[in-house]
Chain A
């Protein structure tokens, strides 16, 4: 089931495309913005609204890197693992994060504060190594800077 607010936001997107189905990716992003992730139940709700089956929607959802089909922490850390960041020391950034948060890539901290995920090139190669936390981009990272940034997130 979708909430009224989610329905309203999804319906506002529908006129932008000639077919209702085209709104499905945006709909998943809307649900994810509200709940952090996209459950089967939410997909069912999207399917009813847009005239799509659960399988059809799941096929789309699992294709895209940024649709989460499992619960995530309150904040999602996306650490760039592509070439420019790798040359500039992204492995050290990753090691520092996994040690400090006591989780591996793909896991969520015990307090539910952070989920740590690898991500392909963030287009911030001039400020490598880089990462994103939720909607914010951070570059030119080193361990001290990472500690300082993490402290901003509750």
Chain B
């Protein structure tokens, strides 16, 4: 904690508590164009402004850091929490002040043992230094913070599933509205933001919204932790200006493809985003630009598909994950995903038929937005529909040759 303080840590908390009203903090975050870093990209300041404020607002209000990082291909929050747990805690304190929350939870993935150790230590240091607890730093603001480690399930990362998980239930989604900002944990106003989102907040408050916007290459504010995995020379994650091109991330930071492998396609932001192709290498990795080429920034950690890996095998792996992690709450999701998995398994093992491709295609609509209770199934359809488009010939070859040509 001493080290973090020397580097300017906890100054944002002081500035917010003693020089800004909660509304001013929310306003500054709004002006910074910070958008959620968990996948959906919702504007953070706007999310905070939905929380009921003032004397009539129900209490206790809750604030949760979504640290249930479980999107396949995503490992950025782990690095943030292991590297600098105090930055997350400070961001949460500022956020809690902005929405006037009373209790904060860090909802951490069970697998992140090292992060759990470092966060526990950091939370107790923050309590010792009066940055957490009653009347923090001598102000009239109080906030309690607890680390909650889950027992593992993708659905815990879905906002309303997470609320159920924290309440000790199955992590099924809840119907919206009402939104968590108004009726959340135990029916009280609740703010949920991703770890990386909170980590940006102290810097916005300390240096101002204009400074934060200036860090970015595009209209979405700030920097982004970009990651690369797959057959590249140097897989990893790097903090870069928002809107860095795919080419720069892949070639300069990840070192390009391993010798003997060519880039076939990539998924830009975790398993539930659409494939983009080598022709998109100069596309900027931000929310709006990726949307224009039919994909999404998602978590910003890309998975690289090389020319020697079977795209049908990749799809089977992705859809099996979603089928397995479906909570079973709504029928299109659990039945549809299982069927998709089975069809892909048939095609991959040479037992597929051409009409299977039509069935898969119809599912991308049947399980699409608006047809299921939460975003799990629509997310699962993103890689599928783009694969059917980009790898059509590979699917057909499996069916024609009655085998996987990569085996």
Residues of A within 8 A of B (CB): 16-19, 21-26, 28-29, 59-60, 63-67, 78, 81-84, 86-88, 119-128, 132, 135-137
Interface residues of B, count at CB 8 A: 55
Chain A CB count within 10 A is highest, among B69, B237, B321, for: B321
Bound form: Cα–Cα A67–B306 in Å: 36
| B13 within 8 A of partner (CB) | no
Q: How far is the CB of B162 from chain A (nearest CB, A)?
A: 12
Interface pair B230/A84, CB less than 8 Å apart: yes
In the bound complex, residues from chain A placing their C-beta under 8 Å from that of B321 are: 82-83, 120-121
Quick one: which of B138-184 are within 8 Å of A by CB?
146, 148-154, 165-171
In the bound complex, residues from chain B placing their C-beta under 8 Å from that of A26 are: 148-149
Bound form: Cα–Cα A28–B149 in Å: 12
Q: How far is the CB of B101 from chain A (nearest CB, A)?
A: 14
Interface pair B170/A60, CB less than 8 Å apart: yes
Interface pair B169/A125, CB less than 8 Å apart: no
A125 interface neighbour in B60, B170, B229, B306, Cβ under 8 Å: B229
Bound form: Cα–Cα A59–B164 in Å: 13
Given known A-B contacts A19-B186, A123-B70, A128-B229, A64 and B112 have beta carbons under 8 A apart: no
A-B contact pairs, 15 of them (CB 8 A): A16-B146, A25-B151, A29-B151, A59-B170, A67-B151, A82-B317, A87-B306, A120-B70, A120-B325, A121-B74, A123-B75, A125-B303, A126-B228, A128-B229, A136-B113
Bound form: Cα–Cα A18–B62 in Å: 11
Q: What 0/1 pattern do residues 299 to 329 of B give for CB contact below 8 A with A?
A: 0010111100100011001100100110100
Smallest CB-CB A-B distances: 6 pairs: A64-B151, A125-B229, A65-B152, A84-B229, A66-B152, A82-B72
Q: What 0/1 pattern do residues 101 to 124 of B give for CB contact below 8 A with A?
A: 000000001111110000000000
Interface pair A25/B74, CB less than 8 Å apart: no
Interface pair B170/A63, CB less than 8 Å apart: yes
Given known A-B contacts A64-B151, A87-B230, A22 and B168 have beta carbons under 8 A apart: yes
| B235 within 8 A of partner (CB) | yes
Interface pair B60/A18, CB less than 8 Å apart: yes
Q: How far is the CB of A52 from chain B (nearest CB, A)?
A: 8
Interface pair A121/B168, CB less than 8 Å apart: no
Interface pair B72/A88, CB less than 8 Å apart: no
Bound form: Cα–Cα A78–B113 in Å: 14
Interface pair B317/A19, CB less than 8 Å apart: no
Bound form: Cα–Cα A78–B110 in Å: 12
| B398 within 8 A of partner (CB) | no
Interface pair B112/A123, CB less than 8 Å apart: yes
In the bound complex, residues from chain A placing their C-beta under 8 Å from that of B112 are: 123
Interface pair B230/A137, CB less than 8 Å apart: no
Given known A-B contacts A66-B151, A87-B305, A125-B301, A120 and B167 have beta carbons under 8 A apart: no
Q: How far is the CB of B2 from chain A (nearest CB, A)?
A: 27
Closest to A124 in B: B75
Interface pair A87/B309, CB less than 8 Å apart: yes
Interface pair B230/A88, CB less than 8 Å apart: yes
Closest to A50 in B: B168
Interface pair A121/B73, CB less than 8 Å apart: yes
Bound form: Cα–Cα A132–B321 in Å: 18
Q: How far is the CB of B250 from chain A (nearest CB, A)?
A: 14
